[in-house]
Structure 1
Amino acid sequence: MHKFNLIENANDSLEHAIKHMGPVNKNGVGDWKRIIVDFAHVVELLFKEKLRQTHSAFVFDNIDKYPSNDAFTVGAEKVFKRLQKICNIQFSKEEISAINTAREKRNEIEHFEFSITEHEAKALVGQVLSFIFSFADEHLNLEWKASHLKDGKWLILRQYTEFYDDLLRKAQEKIDANEIYVIKCTSCHNETFDVDEEACLVCGHSEEVLECKWCKEPYIFSSCEYGEEAQLCPSCEWKDGYAAANFEKY
């Protein structure tokens, strides 16, 4: 019988992703798909391990069913909330962006159509990989960054993490220097989407920018459930839904 604990399982998924990671500019869409799914799996497993170290029951969706062997483990969104409430982990804005990117891109791959540009894929891989290393080191004392980046087979990873860090730094410098009006990108979740150019300054994701008919603020087409049809930004769309559900007038 072969058995992985959570850390071994996470490390195996990371190594599986690396098998599909060639030098920057050498991967196809199939490679990017597998890399992103594996990285999302790594993030989820590391989160569960942190919960397990606090108490094994927290890994299960229904804590009351612990320690039943047929109980379901907690999902990606709930495990993230428990880390904040139970483990008192405060995630930075950049870390939350990486977490959302991993989860949403994995869902897109597994449940819907998937398309991605070369530049966007490199940025997203570097973004999530940087988060994996920092969380593993800071919260689980794994020292993955120090050990893996010294190993010859892991040298390729440095290209991606440095590529992303450089993109983020240059984007922020450009935003500050030119006073560019930016909103949150729906792909990498950074506040780096240039409203005028309709493109993200980090990952390069491009999409139509619309104006909310209520608050007149710009928003990206895919950020809302009803998109152009409702003509509402995410904030106003939520308020409209809440008012409708509670029979209130907004």
Structure 2
Amino acid sequence: MSKTHHLDLLNNSISYFREAVAYAQRESDDTNYWKFAILHVVQAMELAFKERLRRVHPTFIYESVDRPGKTLSLKGAVERLRNPQIGNIPIADWEVAKILKAFDLRSELTHFEFNHSHDHIELKFAEISVS
């Protein structure tokens, strides 16, 4: 008998955030820990934003509200959250810029070559995680 493990958007976000913190707290010179901390914290943000949109209306988490299927990207979620007719959340431009930089860094880490010093990647995690 196989067991299933279900995490809704909020609890999935919390799970990723906990993993990000766990990676960040490791005392190691292994830069991969910081890389995974960044990946997990950005994923946690994306899921949390989708959860906020889901609370407005479940279809708002999808790219197309007319044809649910693929869910929004982090960028799309931020746009909808800022939209006065949808999320109506006042997110400052500097905060959006910070979120988008985090998104771009995650994309770089997962889709391109990784070429950062340990100190640089640790600093990037701090910039993403602290407001």
1:27 Cα deviation after fit = 4.0
How large is the Cα RMSD of the aligned pairs?
Answer: 1.8
Task: Pick from 81, 84, 96 the counterpart of residue 82 of structure 2.
Answer: 84
Q: Is the 8 A contact 1:18 1:35 kept in 2?
A: yes
Q: Which amino acid aligns with 1:2?
A: H
1:23 Cα deviation after fit = 5.9
Q: Does 1:48 align with 2:46?
A: no
1:76 Cα deviation after fit = 1.8
- Where in structure 2 are there 5+ consecutive unaligned residues? none
TM-score (norm 1): 0.47
1:62 Cα deviation after fit = 1.3
Q: Tell me the distance in 1 between the aligned counterparts of 2:24 and 2:89.
A: 31
Q: Which amino acid aligns with 1:96?
A: V
**Secondary structure, aligned partner of 1:20:** helix
- Where in structure 1 are there 5+ consecutive unaligned residues? 132-250
TM-score (norm 2): 0.85
Q: Deviations over 1:29-57 (max 9, x none)?
A: 21111111111101100110111111111
Q: Deviations over 1:72-107 (max 9, x none)?
A: 111222111111112122222441232022101110
Q: Is the 8 A contact 1:39 1:102 kept in 2?
A: no
**Secondary structure, aligned partner of 1:18:** helix
**Secondary structure, aligned partner of 2:81:** helix
Q: Tell me the distance in 1 between the aligned counterparts of 2:14 and 2:5.
A: 15
**Secondary structure, aligned partner of 1:122:** helix
2:15 corresponds to which residue? 12
Q: Tell me the distance in 2 between the aligned counterparts of 1:43 and 1:104.
A: 13
Structure number having the greater strand percentage? 1
Q: Which runs of 4+ in 1 moved over 4 A?
A: none
Q: Does 1:30 align with 2:28?
A: no
Q: Tell me the distance in 2 between the aligned counterparts of 1:39 and 1:109.
A: 13
Q: Is the 8 A contact 1:52 1:59 kept in 2?
A: yes
Q: Deviations over 1:180-205 (max 9, x none)?
A: xxxxxxxxxxxxxxxxxxxxxxxxxx
Q: Is the 8 A contact 1:33 1:109 kept in 2?
A: yes
Summarize the alignment of residues 143-158 of structure 1 with structure 2, pairs less than 5 Å apart. Answer: none
1:119 corresponds to which residue? 119
Which structure's CA Rg is the greater one? 1
Summarize the alignment of residues 1-250 of structure 1 with structure 2, pairs less than 5 Å apart. Answer: 1-22=4-25, 26-66=28-68, 71-85=69-83, 86-131=86-131
Q: Tell me the distance in 1 between the aligned counterparts of 2:75 and 2:111.
A: 16
- Distance 1:10-1:122 versus aligned 2 partners, 3 A rule: same
